[in-house]
Chains A and B, each alone.
Chain A
Amino acid sequence: MAASTEKSQHPAFYAVVVMLVIMAVGPIALMFINSFKFDVDIISGTSGLLFMPTIQNYETALCDILPYEIDHLDFCALKFGGAFMNSLIIALVSTVLTLVIGCMAAYALVRFKFMGRDTVSGTTLMVRMVPPAVLLVPVFGLWNNEFCISKSSFLGGLIRDTFGGRGDVCLAGTHSGIILIYIAMNLPFVIWILQSFIVQVPRQLEEAARMDGAGPFQVFFKVVLPLIKPGLAAAAIFTFRIAWNEYLLASALSDRDTKTVPILIVNNMSEFNVEWGVIMATGVLLAIPPIIFTLFASRQIITGMTAGAVKG
């Protein structure tokens, strides 16, 4: 091993590495570059980096939340800004709730020895197996027809009086409906990964806190939680990524006001005349949060990924 590290690698080897990097990152870079081009430049094919950069595409995409008037646009048709707000609300709320609920469950599973790790990892795997397409039909039916509060009941009437709208109050079409299914999809993985961190928290620490008169909730929030931050980070990234990127279930459950960004991108792609510049700009905006996470926390991501596969 020592010999092979000392001697420098063959130049062809570096060529292969550079080519691989270009192949992996190139398409994404292409999208970044094109999002700063005018549509004329994209179509005429002025190749490479010789073009006038513009932020016009981003302005068009975000026209409904920009504070200033945009000259090149007389009508704001796309309304991506609202969709970004929806995506952000849904992804953030579902991440926070999944972490809180998952953390409590993982703690109970470890400290009170309910179920072994085998059961949890089995469940994680089973849930991982379920495709979103399979959940589409039942979730659509349930959220629209069963998970409702009748408008004649007190609570339902109250909601209808304050927020308006017609019919019974149902989960479908609300942020909470989408958030609920994302939490359920992510919980097993989060519980499973947090379990492996909580196991490592020394028991004596908790007992010492209990001696000092802390209740079970205080022990959990003041002692355990600060110690498992790295695990929380990994779990948060995975949950946020799924909630932020997901298309199918969101498209079935959202209504006009709760559409997320992936839905708008798909809708605009299926039109006959695709405006490439604008659509690339929205693609970039959708891709930025996951890319930032990857650049700053790739170690945690890789740990989560390998753990998921190598240890069933």
Chain B
Amino acid sequence: MSTASLNRLTPYLFLAPAAVIMALALLYPLGYMVYGSFRDWDPSQSLGESTFVGLSNYVSIWGDPNFHESMAVTLKFAFTVVGIEMLIGVGLALLLDRKLRGMSILRTLFILPMMIAPVVVGLIWRYMYHPTLGVFNRSLKSVGMESVDWLSQHALLSVIIADIWQWTPFIFILSLAALQSLPQSALEASRIDGATGWQQIVYIKLPLMMPVLIVTGLLRLIDAFKVLEVILVMTEGGPGLSTEILALRISRTATEFRELGVAAAMSNFLLLLLLFFTIMMLSYNRWQEYRALKARRLIEEEL
């Protein structure tokens, strides 16, 4: 082969492995799933051997009270978790946004909970919630209070607390980064005008941080729908269906009930839901960029 044609081929050669793998292991499976959701599909069959059943998988999850329950749990979990994490995370960022010695050490320690395996997070919390061995009940007992059976009486709450522990630092770090990149001139000007600390936060810092906060919140929301391992280890979805979020329901439908078609239909549903949030986030980003562009044009015209 001549050097010239080799040069012309280079970009394709460089891109080919990535393209092949993405197509084979990501796009094809997703298409396969959409196709499979219209079929009565058993794990022992290949998809070709299964029978076409039209929309019946979708109809069955539409009428399934367990699916509704698990959908309700998922929504409750995701929105509660993101709401509380945003409040605490942004609050802490506002509180700790000062010149602190050892801030980088602090940040390092804070990201530890999200770096370790979700399975391990579940393990730690299951131990801490243990009715007799756990830290919480031992502390309650030592101050003379009744012990609480966390994982059976307050399962959803316990799972929510664990998730807040794990993911609040994410929001804290992102909002701290946003805070520290705010234009100092605006803060300076407000201080000269005599704004108090609170007024600065409410009228200047929060509105200026808003774009980052909204994107962060949506990212967290998308991730909250993906949580599975922590809950699996802590409660296995129980007691009853009280903590069986959608991701767990999908994996149980596929592995325990062996109804791959129904599981595929549920997966599709979850995917569409997340697609909706993602598109919302992307269009919000676009809109922000557009607004910034327009503002810049206006300023240029004034000049």
| Chain A: minimal CB distance from B85 (Å) | 13
**Are A45 and B138 in contact (CB-based, < 8 A)?**
yes
**Are A134 and B25 in contact (CB-based, < 8 A)?**
no
B33, B111, B120, B281 interface centre (most CB from chain A within 10 Å): B120
Say yes or no for B61: interface residue by CB 8 A criterion.
no
Cα–Cα, bound, A6→B10 (Å): 57
Q: Count A-side interface residues using an 8 Å CB cutoff.
A: 96
| Chain B: minimal CB distance from A6 (Å) | 9
Cβ contacts under 8 Å, B32 to chain A = 138, 141-142
Cβ contacts under 8 Å, B72 to chain A = none
Say yes or no for B117: interface residue by CB 8 A criterion.
yes
User: When the two chains form the complex, which single residue of A108, A131, A183 contacts B11, counting CB atoms closer than 8 Å?
Assistant: A108
The A/B interface has a contact count, at CB < 8 Å, of 276
Say yes or no for A17: interface residue by CB 8 A criterion.
yes
**Are B267 and A146 in contact (CB-based, < 8 A)?**
no
Q: Interface-forming stretch among A19-27, A58-66, A225-233?
A: A19-27
Say yes or no for B17: interface residue by CB 8 A criterion.
yes
Residues B17-48 near A (CB distance < 8 A): 17-19, 21-22, 24-26, 28-30, 32-33, 36, 41, 43, 45-47
**Are B184 and A24 in contact (CB-based, < 8 A)?**
no
- What does the 1/0 interface line of A136-168 toward B look like (CB < 8 Å)? 111111101110000000000000000000000
Known: A105-B17, A133-B251. A141 touches B41 (CB 8 A): yes
Interface residues on B, range: 35 or more
**Are B36 and A138 in contact (CB-based, < 8 A)?**
yes
Say yes or no for A305: interface residue by CB 8 A criterion.
yes
Cα–Cα, bound, A266→B118 (Å): 11
Say yes or no for A184: interface residue by CB 8 A criterion.
yes
**Are A184 and B119 in contact (CB-based, < 8 A)?**
no
**Are A310 and B178 in contact (CB-based, < 8 A)?**
yes
User: When the two chains form the complex, which single residue of A101, A138, A287, A312 contacts B282, counting CB atoms closer than 8 Å?
Assistant: A312
Known: A138-B264, A141-B47. A105 touches B228 (CB 8 A): no
**Are A30 and B14 in contact (CB-based, < 8 A)?**
no
Cα–Cα, bound, A138→B11 (Å): 31
- What does the 1/0 interface line of B39-76 toward A look like (CB < 8 Å)? 00101011100000000000000000000000000000
B25, B45, B110 interface centre (most CB from chain A within 10 Å): B25
User: When the two chains form the complex, which single residue of A109, A133, A286 contacts B228, counting CB atoms closer than 8 Å?
Assistant: A133
Residues A245-273 near B (CB distance < 8 A): 245, 247-248, 252, 262, 265-266, 269-270
**Are B271 and A134 in contact (CB-based, < 8 A)?**
yes
Say yes or no for B94: interface residue by CB 8 A criterion.
no
User: When the two chains form the complex, which single residue of A109, A252, A298 contacts B111, counting CB atoms closer than 8 Å?
Assistant: A298
- What does the 1/0 interface line of B175-215 toward A look like (CB < 8 Å)? 00110000010000000000000000000000000001001
Cβ contacts under 8 Å, B92 to chain A = 20
Cα–Cα, bound, A108→B18 (Å): 11
| Chain B: minimal CB distance from A95 (Å) | 14
Known: A122-B282, A248-B228. A290 touches B29 (CB 8 A): no
- What does the 1/0 interface line of B282-300 toward A look like (CB < 8 Å)? 1001000000000000000
**Are A306 and B173 in contact (CB-based, < 8 A)?**
yes
Say yes or no for B148: interface residue by CB 8 A criterion.
no
Known: A108-B14, A290-B115, A298-B108. A247 touches B229 (CB 8 A): yes
**Are A141 and B260 in contact (CB-based, < 8 A)?**
yes
Extra inter-chain contacts (4) besides given A130-B274, A265-B123, CB under 8 Å = A134-B250, A140-B43, A247-B229, A287-B116
Residues of A at under 8 Å CB distance from B? 1, 4-5, 9, 13, 16-17, 20-21, 23-25, 27-28, 30-31, 34, 42-43, 45, 47, 101-102, 104-105, 107-109, 111-112, 114, 122, 125-142, 144-146, 180-181, 183-185, 187-188, 191, 215-216, 220, 241, 244-245, 247-248, 252, 262, 265-266, 269-270, 276, 279-280, 283, 286-287, 290-291, 293-295, 298-299, 301-302, 305-306, 308-310, 312
Residues of B at under 8 Å CB distance from A? 3, 6-7, 10-12, 14-15, 17-19, 21-22, 24-26, 28-30, 32-33, 36, 41, 43, 45-47, 92, 95-96, 98-100, 104, 106-113, 115-120, 122-128, 133, 135, 138, 165, 169-170, 173-174, 177-178, 184, 212, 215-216, 219, 222, 225-226, 228-229, 232-233, 236, 246-248, 250-251, 254-255, 260, 263-264, 267, 270-271, 274-275, 277-278, 281-282, 285
A sample of 6 cross-chain residue pairs with beta-carbon separation below 8 angstroms, ordered by A number, consists of: A9-B98, A104-B14, A108-B10, A125-B278, A266-B232, A295-B108
A-B residue pairs, 3 tightest by C-beta: A184-B25, A105-B18, A133-B247
